[in-house]
Structure 1
């Protein structure tokens, strides 16, 4: 009797153990940041940005010239969203494939020359399938020719603050003239989600069905990492494996850009590790802990708050975040517009000035004015803060400086990785 009871107890205990094992959620494996070989480092660049504030949490060769590959299509889509918002095209308009578009190299939809798809289908093809033929067809629809559209892409890039970017085509297919940086791609990623949130959901779509065929999104982190909802992958032999990715956790959104990965797996692992570590760092900083992403990844820390070092000709910028409240030296990524040739007439009180950003929302422009005023109060002391509108954007400016004061202020602001343009008095 005793033996029977004992066997029953053991069996019951085993059943309970199995039940708890089944119900308990699986442990989440901490992603491993891949430390790359010297050969792989020649193409590698990365950045992590707070999508709301533009604060740079981590940067590695963020300003080094790189080939963007198919991440280029994010700009192609940005101009498409812009055309939709302006009423120049509609979602059900037809996009005709010219012989040139149809002849593009894969990845492609394979639409024969003379046939067409809708704008909506083209947008999905760009964001999900990364279709080169659809990119050229859309470029020709919006710009007349792909080369003219590429010029419009470059112009818009400069207006957004992507100062180190040049586009030669709409797809990202190999072209030595087509260059960008991790920082510029982060600027573009932030601009897309901020300016066209109604279309940003395209980047989170895991698959599309086109003419009876299911096409899967190339962004592997959409399928494996919690909170990821975009954006775009890219690859050519010259560029290596690229990824611009964004994720949301606890109402905080981060953007990570990884360029030049040696393999898809290494690229995805590093992007995931940067995001997961970034969210962890934000939480710990909110609790007052002094921690950085680089520390969590066991990377060497710079001696100062901002370190610029040269490695194989690349500029390596690391931002150390030392407290829960971002210190004055923290860098921000801003979406700006280029210096306008047509400035408002200068009054004796205005003289010279500086522009520190341009935004679609007045509230963002005022927030930037407040930020610069707090962090660079000495440099802009005595200047008048101004928020005005030009070219559809609200500009953040400080006016009433001498030429020397304006240039000194911009030098100090730029030294901290933030945008600034000197405003000359109108002749």
Structure 2
């Protein structure tokens, strides 16, 4: 009898622990109203849902013309060595951006995600900081990214609510590319690669978005569903199996889609963080411009991040979902987790500067790698400086449109530097072979009422 009672308590604890890992949310994608929520703000491992942000930044680069669908994505030795599932590209070989995208939305290819991250960020740690910074700009306050693919890292986490926000943002901000998420298979050479999202074609109206699995995360799924004038985004995290996760999502869709509004419209997720109260506060506190001199060299250093003090070897993410769960469990190492202290900051109770520091984005890359991936050598011209990287980037875009001929052979980028403990961003154009060439370009810009000066990198 005692043994039976003990077994009951043990089983109860296991179930309780497992249930604590699960989280879910359903959001009306037309009004932003939360229709269902279960521990939606609880911290969870994203697994391959991470790739949604990798694709967000890829779509952003495509939309801005920084890359094209046919641009080559070269696979480094690091990218090629990523754990399955993967496309299997050899080091030094390449695929097109479109192929990389398709391999991510269908096969959840870890190597393709890493290769895209390295292409856009110069290296994966820098790209991960870009991902986290973008998450903050989208209002995803409970998310930190450490890699481009979602392979286990104890410092990488998110929430169901944040994943719903990202799912909505992908459709709202990049409708021209969102159709990739409904791709159920694609041809890679002579091979037909099928997708993992089994709700596509099974549930009416489902048009994406992403599955995910590691041992630590359980089975995750973000789904976008449209039926007539109704649209919802649902998130299920920590499922016990691919099948149970899918069934839970199907139940949520069937229950809450009929309750979604047929009205509403307009973007629910801002493209920039301008409406963030912390950002607004920072605007008041920080000076609008720095006053650099031509001799003021940028603080450009190697942006590689020190390795984790608790490194882990990768589990396979999305390893063909439940069909190979057993294989993954046998071969994948246990992910060691460490407790992360969470500090809740109450703005009225602390100094204003502390509020900004508490909500500050991760240390930015020294160079905006979406543009350049590295600092252009030789001479550059600086046209602006701002406490916000987005403003510096916007000035680069504006200047390019104002003087396309002058800057035809130049490459725009932002350079971060610290002054009195505050990070600013210089907006520069590089690629000038000599001081004379840079000065000549500056003279031409000044004729268009664009202030600038030349600086050697």
**Smaller-chain TM-score bracket:** 0.5 to 0.7
Q: How far did 1:39 drift?
A: 3.7
Match of 2:283 among 325, 328, 342: 342
Distance in 2 between the 1:280 and 1:391 partners?
A: 44
Deviations 1:120-140 (A, max 9, x none): 111111111100000010001
Q: How far did 1:272 drift?
A: 0.9
Distance in 2 between the 1:390 and 1:172 partners?
A: 30
Q: How far did 1:109 drift?
A: 0.3
Bigger mean CA offset, 54-63 vs 39-48: 39-48
Distance in 2 between the 1:248 and 1:344 partners?
A: 43
1:249 is matched with: 227
Q: How far did 1:53 drift?
A: 1.4
Unmatched segments (≥5 aa) in structure 2: 1-13, 287-351, 353-389, 395-457
1:131 and 2:109 correspond: yes
2:175 is matched with: 197
1:103 is matched with: 81
Q: How far did 1:342 drift?
A: 2.3
Would the alpha carbon gap of residues 266 and 391 (structure 1) be closer, same or farther in structure 2, given more than 3 Å must change?
farther
1:259 is matched with: 237
Match of 1:56 among 12, 30, 34: 34
Distance in 2 between the 1:264 and 1:197 partners?
A: 28
SS in 2 for 1:209: strand
Alignment of 1:283-298 (within 5 A): none
- Bigger-Rg structure (1/2): 1
Deviations 1:363-400 (A, max 9, x none): xxxxxxxxxxxxxxxxxxxxxxxxxx97899xxxxxxx
Distance in 1 between the 2:227 and 2:70 partners?
A: 34
Contact in 2 for aligned 1:49/1:256 (Cα 8 Å): yes
Match of 2:62 among 80, 84, 91: 84
2:165 is matched with: 187
Deviations 1:42-96 (A, max 9, x none): 2100000011211111100000000000000000000000001111111111000
Distance in 1 between the 2:127 and 2:172 partners?
A: 23
Alignment of 1:343-362 (within 5 A): 343=284
Contact in 1 for aligned 2:48/2:151 (Cα 8 Å): yes
Match of 1:43 among 11, 21, 41: 21
Q: How far did 1:344 drift?
A: 10
Contact in 2 for aligned 1:139/1:146 (Cα 8 Å): yes
Q: How far did 1:193 drift?
A: 0.3
Contact in 1 for aligned 2:231/2:260 (Cα 8 Å): no
Deviations 1:93-148 (A, max 9, x none): 10000000000000100011110000111111111110000001000100000000
SS in 2 for 1:42: helix
Q: How far did 1:282 drift?
A: 3.7
2:249 is matched with: 271
Bigger mean CA offset, 274-283 vs 105-114: 274-283
2:190 is matched with: 212
Contact in 2 for aligned 1:56/1:333 (Cα 8 Å): no
Deviations 1:18-53 (A, max 9, x none): xxxxxxxxxxxxxxxxxx942421210000001121
Deviations 1:235-287 (A, max 9, x none): 0000000000011112211100000000111100111110110123348xx8x
Deviations 1:204-248 (A, max 9, x none): 011011121111111110031111000000000000000000111
Distance in 2 between the 1:171 and 1:253 partners?
A: 27
TM-score normalised per structure 1: 0.60
Distance in 2 between the 1:74 and 1:343 partners?
A: 33
Report the count of equivalent residues. Answer: 272
Deviations 1:335-369 (A, max 9, x none): 46143322499xxxxxx9xxxxxxxxxxxxxxxxx
1:120 is matched with: 98
SS in 1 for 2:201: helix
Contact in 1 for aligned 2:80/2:91 (Cα 8 Å): yes
Distance in 1 between the 2:240 and 2:393 partners?
A: 41
1:175 is matched with: 153
Distance in 2 between the 1:265 and 1:197 partners?
A: 29
Distance in 1 between the 2:220 and 2:140 partners?
A: 18
Distance in 2 between the 1:242 and 1:210 partners?
A: 26
Bigger mean CA offset, 335-344 vs 37-46: 335-344
Distance in 1 between the 2:107 and 2:72 partners?
A: 19
Contact in 2 for aligned 1:55/1:333 (Cα 8 Å): no
Distance in 2 between the 1:124 and 1:110 partners?
A: 14
Would the alpha carbon gap of residues 391 and 227 (structure 1) be closer, same or farther in structure 2, given more than 3 Å must change?
farther
